[in-house]
Structure 1
Amino acid sequence: MERALTGPVALTRHDGTLNPDAVGWAAQPVVDTSDLGAGRGRNKRWEYWNVTTPTHIIGLTVSSIDYACVHEVWVYDRQTGQTWGESATVIPARGAVLAPVLEQGRSMARAKNLAIDIDQTPEGTRLRAQIPGLFFDVLAELPEGHERLALVVPWSETRFQYTVKDLARPASGTLRIGSVDHPVLAGESWAVLDHGRGRWPYDISWNWGAGSGCSNGHVIGVQVGAQWTAGTGVSENAFFVDGRMHKIHGETDWEYDIENWRAPWRVRGSGLDATFEPFHNKTTRTNLLILKGHTDQCFGFWRGTFTPEGAAPIEFDGILGWAEEVHNRW
């Protein structure tokens, strides 16, 4: 059983090292990262939002990795397979604001051909982005009592990460491509957040999988991860039913072949038995000397069963999301 955090806690001590009292998980974002301090090039801060709609998949990233800012806006048409996008790597880091604490302040990015604004409202989080020929304005609603996975991962006193994985947020708004408006339909559209603040090793790999949607009369969120948390005593695995989080303790086992990414992926562990069937692979390759990496983010549908401790299995199917393999030197 992984350690549960019971109340607000600071991520770091006064000397900038990891606060051991922050290590563990919570169902709400209780960790204060405002005193992260200087990282000598190792600090990483980001907001990644993804919105799935009946017609499109929308992604946006605002990030600062100390010596550079890396931003992206990306849209995928689920029917035609067409994509639109702009990305920017800004060296040295400038033109970005990242809130010191989740949901306490705005985040934004400005770069050539790209503008992103992430603002808090009484109803939730407003996501706006513009690139040439494309604009969207989406509200990711935060229902009362909605739970999310907040996790502090300790590699050492000087290397650590705070992540919040927030799934199945009801989304609504408008996506405009050219002169055509595409509604982000309430009740059929879902937003997912990956909030990150920490101080990372230079060379690291990870898997992340997420999915949101409705199945068998329930709102389902699938959250799984692997590799990067191995050996730390915590894991980023959880299953959400109607806004309530069930923590999956321990690592999950992943079976997939990135060279044959269209073949079904399998993820299992502590009550979860999930199959992921991809239909699109968003590949990213970066080689800027000290900044080098590859990402295969495969979009598709999750199905399977989750069995909470002492309860009957929950079956789910048709949950739209992604599974990815990433290796970064950053």
Structure 2
Amino acid sequence: MPAAVLPAAPDCMQDAHGHIRFGRYQGCIARLDWPRPEGRWQRMLQRLRHKRWQYLALTHPDYVIALAVVDVGWTGAAFAYLFDRRTGRLLADVTTDSFPRHGAEVADQPFADAAFSSRALAIRFSACGSYLAVDLQSPALKLAAHVDIGTMPPVLAAIAPLGAHSHSTHKSGALAVSGFADCHGQRYSLDGAVASLDYSNGLLPRETAWRWASAHRAGLGFNLQQGYMAQHENAVWLEQQLFALEGVQFHFEPQQPLRPWHISDDDGLLDLQFTPEGLCRKNQNLLIAASRYIQVIGRFDGHLVHPVSGARHVVQGLSGVTEDHYARW
């Protein structure tokens, strides 16, 4: 069964003896200071393996907007899309990288500064006290947003061993947001949208794969993953409280991802049906690296069980995303 209360996040990931504080926590780890190896060759390999990304999703009854800045260690990348739920169309879909240059900057603090700039797409996250300012510029899509990080629900912080490697992640619940997006001459107000942030920072294996689901509204949400992080980033938000989950299972047809998905957990606390509405798909091969992923936009129905009270919370038409991702980086 999941723990009733997660311990408070430490201020840094290493203890006084230089050991990484593996575990799941509530709150933000202010400093993500991975131990530096002693040898020059090992330090160079660590720089190549070090991955950081900051992802923002904005869900609304009429649309879903997602964007991210990714520091791969040896290069950078970014993507952004706007999916119109009323028409079922992906109105903007921009993905670019800076190969062979680096081109991406992501701070070693969660929900802080990050930037990527190219002719096709420029994204900037700027931490401004109680809010995170987000600016996106591309020919197809523009965005100006303020995401409230001063009064957000409990944050999930997780640090997990991955064999010879390690990784950390921070996941937010439902966040207030203001601003607007412009796409092909149409303005989309962010009033009524719900924001969620995903900040990840770690030393990942050469090949990494995962399945992921995320959806949030005020008082209820979840972050679920099956893959490289095992159970470490599985969590639900209920009644302004954060609870860890153990293993989850994703049942879907990888070759036909627009068919319904079924997601459940090992303890019987979560049972969800995901109905796809559309997807964003990318297949990239840079010879020395490759990325294959689908991010599916849709709605979740089912239930979550409060792990302490046993109360059953109905999930109905909750907007969110699922993902199936393989990376060789």
Q: Indicate the TM-score class for this superposition, using the shorter chain for normalisation.
A: 0.7 to 0.9
Report the alpha carbon displacement of residue 242 of structure 1 after superposing the two structures with TM: 4.3
Q: Aligned partners of 1:82, 1:112: CA distance in 2, in Å?
A: 21
Q: Distance in 2 between matches of 1:113 and 1:34?
A: 32
RMSD: 2.4
- Deviating more after overlay: 36-45 vs 163-172: 36-45
Q: Does 1:45 align with 2:41?
A: no
2:74 to 52, 64, 67: 67
> How far did 1:93 drift?
4.1
Q: Determine whether 1:171 maps to 2:173.
A: no
Question: How many residues are aligned here?
Answer: 315
Q: Is 1:200 aligned with 2:204?
A: yes
The structure-2 alpha-carbon separation of the partners of 1:60 and 1:286, relative to structure 1 and needing over 3 Å to count, comes to same
Equivalent of residue 232 in structure 2, options 232, 235, 246: 235
- Where 1:41 maps in the other structure, the secondary structure is helix
- Distance change in 2, residues 1:268/1:175 (3 Å): same
Tell me, in whole angstroms, the C-alpha distance in 1 between the residues paired with 2:106 and 2:258: 35
C-alpha distance in 2 between matches for 1:280 and 1:260: 12
What residue number does 2:113 align with?
106
Distance of aligned partners of 1:24 and 1:94 in 2 relative to their CA distance in 1, 3 Å threshold: same
Amino acid at match of 1:277: T
| Separation (CA, whole Å) in 2 of partners of 1:9 and 1:182 | 38
**Corresponding residue for residue 103 of structure 2:** 95
* 1:59-116 per-position Cα deviation (integer Å, ceiling 9, x unaligned): 111111111101112222222314213222112443332112124x521111122211
Judge which range, 3-12 or 39-48, deviates more: 3-12
Match of 2:222 in 1: 222
Look up the match of 2:12.
Answer: 10
State the partner residue of 2:130: 123
1:25-47 CA-to-partner distances (Å, cap 9, x unmatched) read 11211252145654141110111
Q: Is the 8 A contact 1:41 1:66 kept in 2?
A: yes
- TM-superposed CA distance for 1:155, in Å, is 1.2
Q: Render the CA deviation track for 1:284-323: whole Å, top value 9, x for unaligned.
A: 1011112112101111111111112242111121110011
The question of whether the paired residues in 2 share the 8 Å contact of 1:2 and 1:25 is answered with no
Q: Given residue 118 of structure 2, which amino acid in structure 1 is its aligned partner?
A: A
1:145 Cα shift?
A: 5.8
5+ residue gaps, structure 1, are none
Q: Which amino acid aligns with 1:182?
A: Y
Query: Hey, what does 1:244 align to over in structure 2?
Result: 241
Kept after mapping to 1: 8 A contact 2:272/2:303: yes
Measure the CA separation in 2 of the matches of 1:87 and 1:14: 42
CA spacing shift, 1:96–1:14, aligned 2, 3 Å: farther
What is the aligned counterpart of 2:167 among 161, 181, 191?
Answer: 161
Q: For the residues of structure 2 that align with 1:235 and 1:135, how far apart are their CA atoms?
A: 34
**Cα distance in 2 between the residues matched to 1:36 and 1:114:** 33
Structure 2 unaligned blocks of 5 or more = 37-42
Residue 152 of structure 2 contacts residue 173 of structure 2 at CA under 8 Å; is this kept in 1? no
In structure 2, distance between residues paired with 1:89 and 1:201: 20
AA in 1 matched with 2:215: G
Q: Tell me, yes or no, if structure 1 residue 315 matches structure 2 residue 311.
A: no
Q: Distance in 1 between matches of 2:61 and 2:319?
A: 10
